[in-house]
Amino acid sequence: MPHISANALAIPASGIRRIYELASALDDVIQLSIGEPERPVARHILDAGASAWNADVTNYTPNSGMALLRSAIATKLERDNHYRVDDDQIHVTAGGSQALHMAMSLTLTAGDEILIPDPGYATFSMIPTLLGAVPVPYHLKAEDEFQPSLSNLEQSVTSRTKVLLINSPSNPLGVVYSAEKLTELLHFAAKHDLWVISDEVYEYFTFSHAFTSVASLDTEGRVFSVYSVSKTYGLTGGRVGYLVTPPGVASTFRAAQEATVSCVNSPAQLAVLAALEGPQSCVHEARAHYGSNIEAACAVLDHRGFNYQRPQGAFYIWIDVSHVSEGDVAAWAEHFLLTQRVAVAPGVAFGPAGEGWIRLCAAGKTAPLLEAIKRLPAPHNG
């Protein structure tokens, strides 16, 4: 019998999904392991998608998405992200995950290396592995406030490095990079002639630091920007994101899109059009709710004596449990789920540097979040 491809077999299983699926088989679990907003989707967004289905708007669209939607995205980018692109640089994808996949597919050849943050979102390493490329982690350290170190990056780059991946606001760390830090990273990329992939999925959820799009600082056309409506509008199952590319990539993207999903479904695209062009009060309310949740959670963590990273953006809290995890936080998180009925994402699901840490999602209801934190074994019997 033939064999499944070595690339596919090399993809590590998601440690986040392991906990999520185990939790799904249990009763009375406080589910904080995945980034799922619990707020209802705004009615005007749902109505637009439902109307499209009811009107049988179910035909193919252009590979890069409906023209009206791409034009609305261009308007949004200029207004909110402070950079201007032509519509043919905008490509609608099946969620931010496919936008990441397409960005890496367009920039990596088998054997190439991509620098990814560690800790960082799991698919940052999974996608290049599937493509036959090599994910090379750059360690984000607590003593550096989880900011990228240029000296660390210099030690990680080789003649095979082709891409630097940046994620701000960060999943899982909640760190937001300043414009000065992003400029440093762009200079590093220029020095080594690298593409830059910037994951900006949590762009609207910042609390103590201003958000800056990397492309707004790019003067050389080396940035691929990844966005999603999943978190912004609570449309995680809608599966719509978009990739903004440098000029001159449109025909290549469309051929690659045809070879993967052809196009994103029409009703979902029209729902996103309504989201972008309609009232944004749902986004503002979500941001206020997440910020309130984080403040309340941090107050409990402070009271109980935990070491943690106070989120500057996104809606996760990165907590040190090394005092109880005994060097195997994945096993500890599973035991904690089974005994305390709280599902948390083990830090090693985001890379080896996450050992001893867990990620909690603060996008749900306040009371269960605070109860979950109270069930965590605190340092010094806090």
Predicted TM-score (pTM) of this structure: 0.96
Q: Are residues 28 and 53 in the same domain?
A: no
| Residue that finishes a domain, picked among 255, 277, 299 | 277
Give domain status of residue 62, yes or no.
yes
Q: Are residues 298 and 184 in the same domain?
A: no
Q: What's the chain's Rg over C-alpha atoms?
A: 20
The parent domain of residue 246 ranges over 43-277
Report the distance separating Cα 149 and Cα 327, nearest Å.
25
- Give, for all 382 residues of the chain, the pLDDT tens digit: 999 999 999 988 888 889 999 999 999 999 999 988 888 999 999 999 999 999 999 999 999 999 999 999 999 999 999 999 999 999 999 999 999 999 999 999 999 999 999 999 999 999 999 999 999 999 999 999 999 999 999 999 999 999 999 999 999 999 999 999 999 999 999 999 999 999 999 999 999 889 999 999 999 999 999 999 999 999 999 999 999 999 999 999 999 999 999 999 999 999 999 999 999 999 999 999 999 999 999 999 999 999 999 999 999 999 999 999 999 999 999 999 999 999 999 999 999 999 999 999 999 999 999 999 999 999 975 4
Helices (H), the chain: 6-10, 15-24, 43-54, 67-76, 95-107, 123-131, 150-156, 179-191, 250-258, 266-277, 281-304, 322-325, 329-340, 366-375
Give domain status of residue 1, yes or no.
no
What's the total number of domains in the chain? 2
CATH label of the domain that carries residue 106: 3.40.640.10
Give domain status of residue 116, yes or no.
yes
Give domain status of residue 239, yes or no.
yes
CATH label of the domain that carries residue 25: 3.90.1150.10
| Residue that finishes a domain, picked among 248, 277, 306 | 277
Q: Are residues 61 and 21 in the same domain?
A: no
Give domain status of residue 118, yes or no.
yes
The string of pLDDT tens digits covering residues 354-365 is: 999 999 999 999
Q: Are residues 161 and 194 in the same domain?
A: yes
Collapsed DSSP state (helix, strand, coil) of residue 25: coil
Give domain status of residue 242, yes or no.
yes
Q: Are residues 271 and 166 in the same domain?
A: yes
